[in-house]
Chains A and B, each alone.
Chain A
Amino acid sequence: MLSKLTEIVTRFPKTTIVVVLIATIFFAIQFPKIKIDTDPENMLEQRQPDRVFYNNVKKEFGIRDLLVVGIVDEDGIFNSDTLKRIAKVTDDILKIKGVIIEDVVSLGTSDNVTSEEGALTVKRFMEKIPQAPQEIEQLKKELFGNPFFVDKIVSRDGKATSIYIPIEKKDQSYRISKEIERILKKELTPEQKYYLAGLPVAEDTFGHEMFVQMGITAPLAGFFIMILLFLIFRRGMFIVPPMMDAMLAVCWAMGLLIGLGFTVHIMSSMIPIFLMPIALLDDIHILSDFFDRYPSIKDRRKTIIATMKDLYRPMFFTSITSAVGFGSLALADIPPVRIFGLFVAFGIMAAWLFSHTIVPAIIMLMSEEKLTAFLERRHNKRSFLDGALKGLGNFAFAKSKIILLGAVIVLAIGIIGVKQIHINDNPVKWFKPKHKIRIADSAMNKFFGGTYMAYLVAEGDEEDAIKRPEVMSYIDKLQNHLETLKIVGKTSSIADIVKRINYVLHDENKSFDSVPGKQDEIGQYLFLFSMTGDPNDLDNFIDYGSQKANIWVQMKGGENIQMRKVEESTYAFTETNPPPRGITIKWSGLTYINKVWQNLMVFGMLKAILGSFFVVFLLMILAFRSIKLGVISMLPLSFAIISSYGLVGFLGKDYDMPIAVCSSLSLGMAIDFAIHFLQRFKAGYKKYNDIEATNIYMFQEPAKAITRNAIVITFGFLPLLASTLTPYITVGTFFATLMMFSFLTTLVLFPAIMRLWGKALFAKEA
């Protein structure tokens, strides 16, 4: 069937190209509809229980997207000039449209509840800018006297203040943050530093950088691959077919993704970069083979038909295995990963189609004279690569036992390394350490209670459950426990408010800084509190029916491991101190959500890699029509994967999202070398009927094609290292490493195996 396709394509090359290009237009016109998605919550399914719960928490407790401004003055903020500047900044920020005025928390907008001359007094920390030293001292005393605000709007050392700015809609965050930055630049002195943090800022920046990656890194990678191809083939015209193939595959995959209405997430933004090197692998085999055959056949069409005939099987199987590898990501419970896997798989199969259509068609359009002249010259030249490969082949064949022993040792070390892998991720670390988001993040965590939010929700089985004294003091105890953990910087809850009112009502008597013992007392305190501020002041901490309470847990780190420790410690606490009757405790918040999808990721990937291993194995048995050969073919990639992950373990690199994603697709990629090697070896053995002779043949043209592929794919991923986002860097480095390992094991391990067992394996072919 495929040979028929080749017949047709080579007969009507121009028509073929036109047809493919028209189809491509259909995909290309989808591009303007592109929608970028940077919301980390979308790592989970819409209906995933933790996500549903988080959305309810946000809704019920009126939790908005928050921008956080940190202002740092090394000389301290407590002088009238600095305070005046802070007040002006705050005031100007309130004027920005989209800022929720009444929910802004800062020195200039927050109320303090104190006892003054026997009266319960509620007033702004800075109603007016304090001028005299004693006024400033008074402000300091008030601030540090209210634990609710220390580490929140003022740092313990008095050098920093922050402004929490809730915004109406997340999509306004870019404009608002720009306006805030303008205000800060204008109002602060050059010595005073400011930091802009908060999830919306990070997301915006991330979205922007993703576009940069797609607009710069991907074309850069394309250009890089073009140069590699030129170095390999030494002729401009031979670059055209593989580059066309790669570009069209990207166009089709991305066009379909966008056209079907999927958003472009961090994962899918990597599709072009992944697809390009993979798409042209088959074409390199076609061209390599074509070059070798042309001088003896001297006819484009006949050479192509002969070349293609030998390559149908290996090309089909390498493509289908890669597609299966990526496609196995569809088993993951993480939608962006699933989309990524499926569309790369689609792109690979599209590329396979182009290898059978566009590529032969373009070759058909090259002039016979030029081909003859160029390829004859080339055929007679011996390159350095030829010599090196010959040496490698002979070495691996001669020292087969040592090589196998060495392989076993390396494998054992690899397994030890794999065991040392620790699973961890933190989306803030997707930015490089010098990125201003990372700098702001670490500065804010140094001065304040922590920028990583998690929520611990206590839910009762009836209205007013939270007002029960034992529930209120349980919340208080839970907070005390949480605050003993080093990573937890600060916690806030309804219990803090009740305690504060109790304390202030009793003329700031320390013995009343506690949760009262009667329910109506608590009810009346909260009622009193509602008479002093905004109607929504309590919303963040208690729901409308007083059935649920929300404890804000600010953490100084957002790594999954850190979240897990806090979660485990809370669990241990609730085991020894069970919650009061009818009360359930549940985690939520973004830091927790990140941990949840990370967990899903690990098990999802495990499922994916096992699934694709199995499918690839079946495909190999099918391809070679032999179970033994199927097993052998899986060896180099198993070896490569274990060594690569062993390396990850030894280097102490976290097993994070990008690394996890690499695992299952590496399988589909690494098998390619094995397929080509074994297919060629099988054919060679049929011809030579001698293992050593076949091995010598293998290290001529076939090994050369494999090496060319390895070079393109290894170096093709290197432009990723120039990226500003760490997931790209990780993926680039890891893939290059994996491909090197896999290439080396194929060319070193296989000759050794063939010498020892080749005869038995290919007995049928003799």
Chain B
Amino acid sequence: MKTLKISLVISLLSALYLTPAVLFAEDNVTAEEIVIKSRLTFYYAGDDMRAKVLMELINKDGKKRVRELTMLRKDYEEGGDQKYFMYFHKPADVRDTTFMVYKYHDRDDDRWLFIPAINLVKRIAANDKYSSFVGSDFTYEDISGRKPEEDTHTLSRKDKLNGKNCFVIESIPKETSEYTKRISWIDEANFLPLKEEFYDKQDELYRQFEAQEVKDMDGILTITKRIMKNVKTGHRTEAAFQEVEYNLGVEDNVFSERYLRRPPLQWIR
């Protein structure tokens, strides 16, 4: 009796788990591979990048706060180490503030902030998994990417989103995280993430990412308008990436404390 029950459970389970694998076998890609490829396309495009980022932080009453910054990125290894440099133009009282991130593939990021009012460079240690990026709805992780091995990915189905064929991937964090489940719609044609849904501990949708505009910049497909909405609070952030340029040959020494204090004018303009 007992064995019968167990075998029944096993067969049910395997049916559940095996179906997607069987279905998508002909595509010959696993969910893990899709996520890895998507990350490279989205976060590691080109060898370096420069963009002007305009962010509008909008609360549920429609009131706005503005963040305007220039972002420089240099990759050292595909899917591995990266460096970011950011210079803030707006709001007015934080003008000249700079921010630098060293991303490592095998340990926590290093981050530094230059506070011009007191002429101080300070190293910052904060959890990038839930800390807000400059008060927006994006976390640091949303801006610079999350390591694929931190989640278990399943390709749950294929779906059409705004006329584009997408892989729909379900990712469950291996360790306790801010979200308990993430569902991503990844464009089959170019592997850009077009939509992401984040579910919280109550198993309810709380954050939603959407790519609103994709443009070809220097031959590289780039998401130039993106929106992150907190469904529960009604707060949202709209980010526009302007003047995006790739493969500019940004020097290594830009990413240093010296330039934090004296921003590299040629790059930030």
Contact = CB atoms under 8 A, between A and B. Distances in A.
A241 B59 CA distance: 64
B63 interface: yes
Contact of B113 (A95, A118, A531): A531
A505 to B, nearest CB: 6
A531 B134 contact: yes
Interface SS of A by simple majority: mixed
B125 A523 contact: no
Contact of B126 (A59, A96, A122, A523): A122
A301 B134 CA distance: 89
B220 interface: no
Nearest to B134: A531
Interface string B236-261: 01000000000000000000000000
A530 interface: yes
A464 interface: yes
A545 interface: yes
A174 to B, nearest CB: 18
A534 B126 CA distance: 12
Interface string B108-128: 000001011110101111110
Nearest to A534: B132
Contact of B235 (A101, A519, A535): A535
A427 to B, nearest CB: 30
Given A95-B202, A97-B204, A535 B57 contact: yes
A545 B63 contact: yes
A520 interface: yes
A527 B97 contact: yes
Contacts of A124: 127
Contact of A528 (B59, B61, B113): B113
Given A95-B202, A535-B57, A119 B94 contact: no
A122 B134 contact: no
For chain A, give the interface size range. 35 or more
A94 B88 CA distance: 36
Contacts of A520: 93-94, 116-117
B116 A524 contact: yes
A121 B127 CA distance: 9
A422 interface: no
A116 interface: yes
B131 interface: yes
Nearest to B123: A119
Contacts of A100: 232-233
B91 interface: yes
B9 to A, nearest CB: 26
Contacts of B201: 91, 94-95, 101
A625 to B, nearest CB: 65
A203 to B, nearest CB: 23
Interface string A504-531: 0100000000001011111111011011
B134 A530 contact: yes
B125 A119 contact: yes
A584 interface: no
A525 to B, nearest CB: 8
A533 interface: yes
A505 B113 CA distance: 11
A124 B130 CA distance: 11
B91 A118 contact: no
B232 A524 contact: no
Nearest to B206: A101
B65 interface: yes
A122 B94 contact: no
Interface string B55-69: 001010101110000
B25 to A, nearest CB: 37
B71 to A, nearest CB: 15
A344 B202 CA distance: 47
A467 B91 CA distance: 13
B125, B136, B200, B235 interface centre (most CB from chain A within 10 Å): B125
Contact of B124 (A95, A119, A534, A544): A119
A120 B206 CA distance: 29
Interface centre among B63, B64, B99, B201 (most CB of A within 10 A): B201
Nearest to A527: B94
9 contacts: A100-B232, A100-B233, A118-B122, A519-B93, A520-B116, A521-B118, A533-B131, A535-B135, A536-B233
Interface of A: 59, 91, 94-97, 99-101, 116, 118-124, 168, 464, 467, 505, 516, 518-525, 527-528, 530-536, 544-545
Interface of B: 57, 59, 61, 63-65, 88, 91, 93-94, 97, 99, 113, 115-118, 120, 122-127, 130-137, 200-202, 204, 206, 230, 232-233, 235, 237
